[in-house]
Structure 1
């Protein structure tokens, strides 16, 4: 710690103020950045490694396998084999991640967010170690990669990490700044994608697969170190001073959570994890009666996020196939540059445009609907793109693409209490994991069967039409929220940090009110 006594008092006070502000405002954003950077690196390198591995196992010809464009029969076999193995890998990852996330979400409400952040990174580190082994011994069985994927899924993987970080921000923000903070957090995914696409290929081309998986492990180690050394526990209602009870203002009355007081010893934390009550608590988010049509809003917003993620994942798969075929014919470098630019523009819009939009009197739902319109426009534009310039200009319309997800998560967070944040986000995390598998099957099949319609762009027109559904759902949510002061642009001035509470003074019991 800097000894400010030797400095002028004003400089010392300013430095301490800066440190406090940094500690308060820099929370889980670096966690999301490094984890997503590692995820994009890992998945891109995995696909390319599988191409080399399966080809060499089948043909034992390294030179030919590294240049399949001149060996059509080998290329056809390898593409089919890789596609089949990716389905297997994604299926195992989806099932294991959904199961673990439903346990981890409500568990984080009881034992804290930090441990729930660290667990997925440990699984990713183990996955990276196995990937290095697979890269070093290219003739090793692909089932080792499947095993590593299962370990990563059981540790929570992406859905648990997102559950933890969004729950963390739900703990430390209020209605005034939550949407903006969620926007910045959502931007970290796009920044990670941008850096991953720009650097991943370069590392593979110049250093090799072992180096890129080492890069992946380093990103996850950075998350662990940051969480341990910098991040403070946010779920005060689950651990530390409040000991899983809620404290309101200056009132000393405390109550235990619906699940009872958790045992926060090391043994107790492990026992808390395997309780099926964690899954019930997550599902209870959808069934609990709430004021101001809160339960209906949650259902509508989750379905809104489902359609949004379904289209997003489908676009990510099919756009590469579309721009690589004639008449566009992008090479690998151009594909990487386009993907990086698209993610970079979306990240800048979230980090700069979102705070500016929050200064306007526009309601969050209105901002989301406008962003949906821009995203639909980008889909229509890419559907009719026949030259490189049009494809890259499409990124302008795509720029607000991350805003609807950030706003939807913020609105979901405002509809539940503090002790429900983890359970609610575990549901959305499990849902997002399912969309990865469903979108791949749905939109890839649609693209394959409509390649002659609108030059292959028909699938993007379908995506644009599907986005009308979340627009209508957002309008419905806006209508339900009218007249509620909690959702006015100025925010909920009376909302306490740990949620809106109702106090029963006659029995000295403090209980969370329905939101």
Structure 2
């Protein structure tokens, strides 16, 4: 496990991971709620008291109609924010990944978090200005994007884990990473509505900023550098060396033995499409539940917490029981994960009662094995000295192409909100069918490779036996 040992105490890299994702989810739905409220009375100029009823547990007909008017504007704003964050983060990630191979992981574990500290403080300031347009909230992304963003941070976290693990335990470590990430999300979701009820918008954002600061301090004092001999000269210049990006692309697309290049590229494609769908429908779940089931913020945060908890448990069961104990290979686990996601999407799309939304979350539980199993599979194909570059390209493609999910699913949602707001779930289910077929294709390719390797070994043994017989006969 990635760790720094101080005395007899083990300090793990997952601690700052939990802290920062707790900060994200503590304020995420609160920010969406604030944008909805501001859009209603500032952008659309409705009565402030009427807008305050949006998201109430028992809305009247007027409130329900107002919800349908406001939500498309909010969905559009979320889409613009996702496009900005995804585009800039993807480009930055392509540079930061190779840079960290030379100059160390710690700078990238520190600087982006500093950007989030400033971003949440700015968000708290804008929340105080009650008549300010919600479009100004997009300015809060500037400190994050200027310091690397979430994509660069996650890339280097994955590289850090790769640095301090070996092939035999890397799959398990990737699973622990995914589970604890979900745990941070769970804790943030559980706390969100209760903290907001006890405080207000600016205070919630300041608390998120404080947890990012804890992440920053913990990393500075307790997380050691994982690169043995990082370079110290030319750090700033290294950020602007374009050959780092070209080398990253060449490494990912280079020809490998058997069909390994095909498998690596298929894994990149699978994760990219997966994130595209997750980003697309994830940004709409809150709006969908408000529209179809008239859920309040408290109801949504409780559901999100339950969803995160099932994700953590599903990941733990999948990785430890199925993969580690029962020795089910990564390829089969990937198929199981996508089947789980497919069932969850169908159940949510068909849901007519609130309890069925929870059933959909339970059905998706094994989806948590997807990212760690795909990355584990890639790490067993790509040499250790190249894995950081491949991970950087994976995260960059997830961020760049994945941001397309927001406008696609937003367009579907806005076009179907008056008929059936849940149609986007069936679109997601259709994509998961494609992912299942792609995963099955990888299994077939791996089986062909195994068979060819086996036949090659048998032929080599036969040749050795013939040579031995010929030598004996000659003697």
Partner of 1:441: 407
Find the counterpart in structure 1 of residue 249 from structure 2: 283
Q: 1:354 aligns with which of 301, 319, 344?
A: 319
Change (3 A) 1:113 1:18: closer
Aligned residues: 440
Select between 219-228 and 433-442 the one with higher mean Cα deviation. 433-442
Structure 1 contact 97–157 (Cα < 8 Å) conserved: yes
Q: Secondary structure at the match of 2:167?
A: coil
CA contact (8 A) 2:311 2:366 kept: yes
Structure-1 separation of matches of 2:76 and 2:294: 25
Give the structure 2 partner of residue 299 of structure 1: 265
| Corresponding residue for residue 295 of structure 2 | 330
Q: Distance in 2 between matches of 1:401 and 1:335?
A: 20
Q: Is 1:214 aligned with 2:199?
A: no
Q: 2:86 & 2:370 partners in 1: Cα distance?
A: 24
Query: What is the aligned partner in structure 2 of residue 264 from structure 1?
Result: 232
Q: Secondary structure at the match of 2:403?
A: helix
Which position in structure 2 is the counterpart of 1:475?
440
Residues 27 and 294 (structure 1), Cα distance of their counterparts in 2 relative to 1, 3 Å cut: farther
Taking the aligned partners of 1:164 and 1:199, their CA distance within structure 2 comes to 28
Question: For residues 34 and 429 of structure 1, what CA distance do their matches in structure 2 show?
Answer: 21
C-alpha displacement of 1:165: 0.8
Q: Closer, same or farther in 2 for the Cα pair 1:396/1:81, shift >3 Å?
A: closer
1:107-256 to 2 correspondences below 5 Å: 107-140=99-132, 142=134, 144-236=136-228, 239=230
For 2:205 and 2:346, the matched residues in 1 are separated by 37
CA apart distance, 1:474: 2.2
Residue 429 of structure 1 deviates from its aligned partner by 1.8
Q: State the alpha-carbon separation in 1 of the partners of residues 340 and 150 from structure 2.
A: 27
Give me the whole-angstrom Cα distance separating, in 2, the residues matched to 1:97 and 1:311: 18
Q: What displacement does 1:319 show?
A: 3.5
State the shift of 1:386 in Å: 1.6
Give TM-score scaled by structure 1 length.
Answer: 0.77
The question of whether the paired residues in 1 share the 8 Å contact of 2:75 and 2:284 is answered with: no
Q: What is the correspondence of 1:53-72 to structure 2 with a 5 Å cutoff?
A: 53-55=38-40, 57-58=42-43, 59=45, 62-68=48-54
Q: Tell me, in whole angstroms, the C-alpha distance in 2 between the residues paired with 1:292 and 1:482.
A: 11
Contact in 2 for aligned 1:130/1:144 (Cα 8 Å): no
CA distance in 2, matches of 1:141, 1:373: 42
Q: What is the CA distance between 1:142 and its match in structure 2?
A: 4.9
Change (3 A) 1:154 1:426: farther
Going from structure 1 to structure 2, the CA distance change for 1:461 and 1:63 (only over 3 Å counts) comes to closer
- After superposition, where does 1:418-433 map in structure 2 within 5 Å? 418-433=384-399
Please say if 1:91 is aligned against 2:59.
no
SS at match of 1:176: helix
**How far 1:102 moved relative to its partner?**
1.2
Give the equivalent residue in structure 1 for 2:274: 308
Distance in 1 separating the partners of 2:350 and 2:422: 6
CA contact (8 A) 2:72 2:414 kept: no
Distance in 2 (alpha carbons) for counterparts of 1:60 and 1:19: 58
Change (3 A) 1:361 1:78: closer
Distance 1:22 1:282, change over 3 A: farther
Q: Is the 8 A contact 2:87 2:403 kept in 1?
A: no
Kindly indicate whether the alpha-carbon contact (under 8 Å) linking 1:198 and 1:337 is maintained by their aligned counterparts in 2.
Answer: yes
Q: Classify 1:79/1:152 alpha carbon distance in 2 versus 1 (closer, same or farther; 3 Å).
A: same
1:37-80 CA-to-partner distances (Å, cap 9, x unmatched) read 22223432322232344455454965454335687697666545
The 3 A distance-change label for structure 1 pair 389 and 67 is closer
Which residue of the other structure, out of 337, 345, 348, is the alignment partner of 2:310?
A: 345
From 333, 336, 343, the equivalent of 1:367 is 333
Partner of 1:8: none
Give distance in 1, aligned partners of 2:406 and 2:135: 22
Distance 1:436 1:18 in 2: 37
Task: Return closer, same or farther for 1:415/1:448 CA change in 2, 3 Å cut-off.
Answer: same
- Name the CA distance, whole Å, in 2 between partners of 1:94 and 1:146: 13
- The structure with the largest helix share of the pair is 2
Partner Cα separation in structure 2 for residue 52 and residue 463 of structure 1? 29
C-alpha contact (below 8 Å) 1:40/1:193 kept by paired residues: yes
The yes-or-no answer on 1:45 pairing with 2:30 is yes
The answer to whether the 8 A contact 2:187-2:305 is kept is yes
Structure 2 residue 23 is the aligned partner of structure 1 residue 31:
no
Deviations 1:398-433 (A, max 9, x none): 111111111112222333333333322222222222
Alpha-carbon separation, structure 2, partners of 1:33 and 1:484: 39
The corresponding residue for 1:404 is 370
Unaligned runs of at least 5 residues, structure 2? 454-475
Offset of residue 84 of structure 1: 3.8
